[in-house]
Amino acid sequence: MSKSSFGELIKGNTPVLIDFSAEWCGPCKMLAPILNEVKNTLGNKVKIIKIDVDKNQQLASNYRVQSVPTMILFKESKQLWRQSGVPTKDQLVQLVQQHV
């Protein structure tokens, strides 16, 4: 993914939760169903995008992603929150609702 297309993704008024992950990452696989539940709960209030750090090394480097999974919440191109590891569904739902 190019930096300009990523910039387009995160510039809107809807919060965008980026999941920087990798195919080989066990915790990343645990996160997938949690993100599905978050999307089912919040619907159009959030965009959730998974980015493979191995296929998008430059983008991961730009955001200093050093471990996976790393989640970053953006709104209007601003980074609002960041966490490495696997948060709970409730943590993510509450986080997004604060920024809707």
| Catalytic annotation present for 28 | yes
Of 10, 16, 17, 28, the catalytic one is 28
Find all residues with CB under 8 Å of 53, minimum gap 6, and list them.
Answer: 20, 21, 22, 60, 65, 68
Of 9, 14, 25, 49, the catalytic one is 25
| Catalytic annotation present for 32 | no
Distance CA 77, CA 18 (A): 12
Active site residues: 25, 28
